[in-house]
């Protein structure tokens, strides 16, 4: 028995030794093909229905491998839990737009921001390689100036796109069977999270359109709890926390939620002091979310987000404070937002004209109250535009543009149009405090004019001194009717 065990052990040992000697730790590995996708992967931007073109440069570590399959997928950020679409992390709402190596397809998705993923699969090994592109799809009217004009009492809204393409009568082009009743007054864009509207006011009511294609989406009285007809001195604003939209008409204020908070009609007239009549201009800050000026009571009113009633400021008697917010005693005629969230307001009383400033970020918001004795023809001015970089306020009188230096308390003439040309509206090109920045903000003054035969839109480039570069306009767009209002449509967020 013992001899048999010895023989068996010897045989097993020899077998193991032979096996080790035969293997000699030499293994054969097959090289795996690796793909690299080269080429620019910068952010892509395209107008809806225009063609998306990408020709990626693909290199193989083992030439002649494949065959390959290709897949281009488009999806929104919220449709996936992580950066990359994978088998374990699919984009449930993704759309395959092409299975070709190179992409050449129309952008048929709704305006918005997307990820575009390109995936190559090696059919032999089933190994995949992917790259992602940021894609912004803009509507046809993605950014630019709304130009409202009066054509014999008919509302004509045109659009000067950011790339200088002009679209005339955009409402008529998108809604051939729609009749906009009433005399044109103003057009305001409302752009914020999930809010992409253009609100058009005539003296017969408010009309609402999609900011992306100007398709008609509603009108008063369907948008309001109570009728606001007739409309006069309209205004529109969105507060900085994206909770509320405000409409002003005939000194009354109405509010509704933004789409991010839910859908609702505009409220009844805000509760407030008896007989209040606000100027159609909105101010907002961190301390005081919403400020309006009551021209009847000669005082400021404030409210919080989602509130539909006004509060008055407590009366303050303090010689160090320039004025009492609850008893200003003057009539507001216009103004605009300046640097550091300071609002410059032009007011008048029986003694003259004053520059008032309000700082709604501050616990004590009363700023300046300076008499404007050094401002020529200020008594004839109704149109104002301020820089948010320098303390400079522009005002228009007939065919002239003046620049008021807030610190020096003096104004000077900076541009004069021909005698038969009247300035109808004037705006500083600037953002709303949110969204994409633009290096041209606060460096361009935009002016709408009418010479009795043609409405024109002018761009004026500004120097740091506030003067007009080269003493003339940089661009001019013509062919409009009698311009009554201009407003900037910022890009979708």
How many C-alpha atoms does 205 have within 13 Å on its Cβ side? Answer: 14
Per-residue confidence (pLDDT) for residue 30, from 0 to 100: 65
Per-position DSSP letters for 348-406, written without gaps between them: EETTEEEEEEE-TTSSS-EEEEEE-TTSTTGGG--EEEE-SSSSEEEEEETTEEEEEET
pTM exceeds cut of 0.75: yes
Q: CA 150, CA 480: separation in Å to the nearest integer?
A: 9
Average pLDDT estimate for 318-338: 94
User: Which whole-number Å values give the CA distances from 235 to 150, 246, 329, 354, in the listed order?
Assistant: 18, 8, 23, 23
Per-residue confidence (pLDDT) for residue 341, from 0 to 100: 95
Band of pLDDT at residue 41, cut at 50, 70 and 90: low
Average pLDDT estimate for 341-356: 98
Per-residue confidence (pLDDT) for residue 25, from 0 to 100: 56
Per-residue confidence (pLDDT) for residue 124, from 0 to 100: 85
Write down all domains in the chain, each with its CATH number in brackets: 35-138 (2.60.40.10), 144-489 (2.130.10.10)
**Residue 324 CB-density burial (10 A; 0-12 exposed, 13-18 middle, 19+ buried):** middle
Band of pLDDT at residue 6, cut at 50, 70 and 90: very low
The share of the chain scoring above pLDDT 70, in percent, equals 90
Band of pLDDT at residue 310, cut at 50, 70 and 90: very high
Band of pLDDT at residue 17, cut at 50, 70 and 90: very low
Band of pLDDT at residue 110, cut at 50, 70 and 90: confident
pLDDT tens string 371-391: 999 999 999 999 999 999 999
19 SS3 class: helix
Per-residue confidence (pLDDT) for residue 371, from 0 to 100: 98
Q: CA 332, CA 354: separation in Å to the nearest integer?
A: 9
pLDDT tens string 114-168: 989 999 998 888 888 889 899 999 889 999 999 999 999 999 999 999 999 999 9
Say if residue 182 is preceded by a cis peptide, omega within 30 of 0.
no
Band of pLDDT at residue 11, cut at 50, 70 and 90: very low
Per-residue confidence (pLDDT) for residue 5, from 0 to 100: 47
- Please determine, for residue 469, whether its predicted confidence score (pLDDT) is greater than 80: yes
Distance of CA 95 to the CA centre of its chain: 27
**Residue 51 CB-density burial (10 A; 0-12 exposed, 13-18 middle, 19+ buried):** exposed
Instruction: Record the tokens describing residue 383, joined without a space.
Output: 């149109």
Edge-first strand order for the sheet with 383-386 is: 383-386, 392-397, 400-405, 410-416
Q: CA 47, CA 108: separation in Å to the nearest integer?
A: 10
Instruction: Record the tokens describing residue 381, joined without a space.
Output: 């001015």
The residue assigned the tokens 């970020």 is 361
Per-residue confidence (pLDDT) for residue 193, from 0 to 100: 81
Q: CA 336, CA 395: separation in Å to the nearest integer?
A: 10
Q: Which has the higher per-residue pLDDT, 476 or 27?
A: 476
Per-residue confidence (pLDDT) for residue 18, from 0 to 100: 47
């Amino acid at each position: 028995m013992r001899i048999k065990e010895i023989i068996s052990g010897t045989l097993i040992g020899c077998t193991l030794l032979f096996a080790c000697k035969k293997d000699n730790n030499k293994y054969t590995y097959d090289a795996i093909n690796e793909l690299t996708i080269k080429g620019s992967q910068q952010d892509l931007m395209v107008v809806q229905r225009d063609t998306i073109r990408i020709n990626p440069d693909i290199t193989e570590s083992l030439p002649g491998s494949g065959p390959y399959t290709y897949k281009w997928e488009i999806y929104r950020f919220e449709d996936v839990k992580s950066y990359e679409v994978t088998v374990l992390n699919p984009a449930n709402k993704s759309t395959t737009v092409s299975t070709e190596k190179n992409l050449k397809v129309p952008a048929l998705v709704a305006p918005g921001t997307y990820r575009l993923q390109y995936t190559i699969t090696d059919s032999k090994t089933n190994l995949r390689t992917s790259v992602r592109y940021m894609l912004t799809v803009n509507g046809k009217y993605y950014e630019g100036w709304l130009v409202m004009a009066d054509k014999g009492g008919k509302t004509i809204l045109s659009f000067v796109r950011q790339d200088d393409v002009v679209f005339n009568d955009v409402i008529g082009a998108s809604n051939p069977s729609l009749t906009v009743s009433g005399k044109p007054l103003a057009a305001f864009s409302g752009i914020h999270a999930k809010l992409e509207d253009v609100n058009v006011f005539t003296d017969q009511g408010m009309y609402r359109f999609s900011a992306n294609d100007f398709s008609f989406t509603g009108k008063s009285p369907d948008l309001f709890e109570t009728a606001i007809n007739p409309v006069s001195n309209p205004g529109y604003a969105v507060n900085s926390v994206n909770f509320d939209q405000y409409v002003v008409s005939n000194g009354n204020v109405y509010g509704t939620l933004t789409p991010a908070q839910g859908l609702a009609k505009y409220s009844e007239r805000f509760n407030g002091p008896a007989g209040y009549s606000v100027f159609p201009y909105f101010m907002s800050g961190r301390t005081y979310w919403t400020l309006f000026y009551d021209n009847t009571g000669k005082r400021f009113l404030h409210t919080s987000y989602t509130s539909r009633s006004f509060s008055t400021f407590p009366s303050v008697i303090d010689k160090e404070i320039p004025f009492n917010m609850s008893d200003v005693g003057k009539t507001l005629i216009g103004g605009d937002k300046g640097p550091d969230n300071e609002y410059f307001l032009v007011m008048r009383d029986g003694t003259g004209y004053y520059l008032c400033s309000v700082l709604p970020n501050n616990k004590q918001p009363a700023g300046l109250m300076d008499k404007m004795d050094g401002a020529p023809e200020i008594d004839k001015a109704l149109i104002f535009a301020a820089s948010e970089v320098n303390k400079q306020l522009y005002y228009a009188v007939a065919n002239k543009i003046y620049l008021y230096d807030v610190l020096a308390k003096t104004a000077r003439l900076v541009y004069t149009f021909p005698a038969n040309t009247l300035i109808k509206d004037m705006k500083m090109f600037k953002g709303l405090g949110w969204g994409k920045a633009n290096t041209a903000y606060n460096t361009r003054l935009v002016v709408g004019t009418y010479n009795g035969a043609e409405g024109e839109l002018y761009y004026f480039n500004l120097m740091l001194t506030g003067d007009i570069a080269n003493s003339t306009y940089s661009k001019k767009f013509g062919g409009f009717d009698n311009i009554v209002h201009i407003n900037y449509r910022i890009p979708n967020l």
